[in-house]
Amino acid sequence: MELLEDRIRQDGVVKDDGVLKVDSFLNHQLDIELLDACGEEFKRLFGDALITKILTIEASGIGIACGVARCFGVPVVFAKKAQSINLDGDAYVTRIQSYTHGRIFDVIVSKKYIGPEDHILIIDDFLANGCALDGLIDICQHAGASIEGIGVAIEKGFQPGGRSLRERGFRLESLAIIEGMDPETGAVEFRSRIKP
Ligand code: G4P
Ligand code: NA
Ligand code: NA
């Protein structure tokens, strides 16, 4: 998506640990017009699928998920990162390993908000190793819900998450795929795509 790629080139900050900071429009301050445009693009990409819920994970997936949910006219459910979990059986629980943050955490979704009748579009802001998305997939599978697709704003194509999800047969669409970043110059190189 050209609009997002241009914004990353303009306002993204390349750190020397392979991390792209997008705090000024996606991860701290939110550009709602951009999020709405991303939502419309996901609607175009997944418009043929029946979607009943958007599923994401707190915190930074919520903004983009709201832009998508508005276009599909369905609710957003966000998985919560829990410190200690009351395992009373009314929530789906999964465990996520975060490489960037160097820790493992549990994530929960109430059984009230996802069930076997749901057709889910999973949305997140970043795809790197894919651990967060693996967790969301696990929750959908526990719930017996159908996963219609996975939509990501920014995929880091030089990390293994995207390839692994595609190999597993998931319908994955990323609005911008980064092939490489140079912390010296700040340059970001995108995977070229076939224009619609
Ligand atoms: P993974 O989920 O794809 O495996 O990613 P990883 O464990 O490496 O990353 C953990 C967190 O860092 C995730 O956020 C992920 O979205 C984010 N992340 C990974 N690479 C980048 C990057 O280059 N730039 C930015 N800005 N974020 C990146 P999270 O756990 O959902 O945390 P939160 O930010 O929502 O609290
Ligand atoms: Na994040
Ligand atoms: Na995220």
Say which CATH number the domain at 161 has: 3.40.50.2020
**Confidence (pLDDT) at 86:** 62
Q: State the pLDDT at residue 26.
A: 98
Neighbours of ion ligand 2 (CB under 5 A): 60
* Ligand 1 lined by 161 (C-beta under 6 Å): yes
Return d(Cα 60, Cα 125) in angstroms, integer.
7
Residue in the structure block whose two tokens are 């526990």: 142
- Which ranges of the chain have pLDDT less than 50? none
Residue 196 lies in a domain: no
pTM of the model: 0.95
User: Which residue lies with its CA nearest to atom 11 of ligand 1?
Assistant: 100
The amino acid occupying position 54 is I
Any domain includes 184? yes
**187 in a labelled binding site:** no
Q: Residue 175 falls within a domain, yes or no? A: yes
Asked if the structure places residue 113 within a domain, the reply is: yes
- Does residue 127 line the site of ligand 1, with CB under 6 A? yes
Burial of 119 (0-12, 13-18, 19+ CB in 10 A): middle
Cβ(157) to ligand 1 under 6 A?
no
First to last CA, the chain: 10
Closest ligand 1 atom, CA of 60?
35
Residue 195 placed within a domain: no
Specify the ligand 1 atom closest to the Cα of 15.
23
Give dist(CA 179, CA 190) in Å, integer: 5
pLDDT score, position 38 = 98
- Residue 5 φ/ψ region, left for φ over 0, alpha for ψ in the -120 to 50 degree band, beta for the rest: alpha
20 is in an annotated binding site: yes
Separation of CA 27 and ligand 3 centre (Å):
9
Number of domains, the chain: 1
Asked whether residue 76 is assigned to any structural domain, the reply reads yes
* pLDDT (0 to 100) of residue 194: 64
| Ligand 1 contacts CB of residue 94 (under 6 A) | no
Query: Which pLDDT score is estimated for 90?
Result: 92
User: How many alpha carbons fall within 13 Å on the CB side of residue 191?
Assistant: 15
The number of the ligand nearest the C-alpha atom of 65 reads: 3
How far is it, in rounded angstroms, from Cα 63 to Cα 58? 9
- pLDDT at position 89 is 77
Q: Say what the pLDDT of residue 98 is.
A: 83
9 secondary structure, DSSP code: H
Going from the Cα of 52 to the center of ligand 1, the distance in angstroms, rounded, reads 26
111 half-sphere exposure, CB direction, 13 A CA radius: 11
C-alpha to C-alpha distance for 63 and 181, rounded to whole angstroms = 25
Ligand 1 site, residue 164, Cβ cutoff 6 A: no
- Contacting residues for 187 by C-beta, under 8 A, at least 6 apart: 14, 181
CB atoms within 10 A of CB 186: 11
Which pLDDT score, from 0 to 100, does residue 85 have?
59
Question: For 70-110, how does the pLDDT look when each residue is reduced to its tens digit (9 = 90+)?
Answer: 999 999 999 999 866 566 679 999 999 887 778 898 999 99
124, part of any domain: yes
- Domain span at residue 137 reads 2-190
CA–CA dist 45, 7 (Å, integer):
20
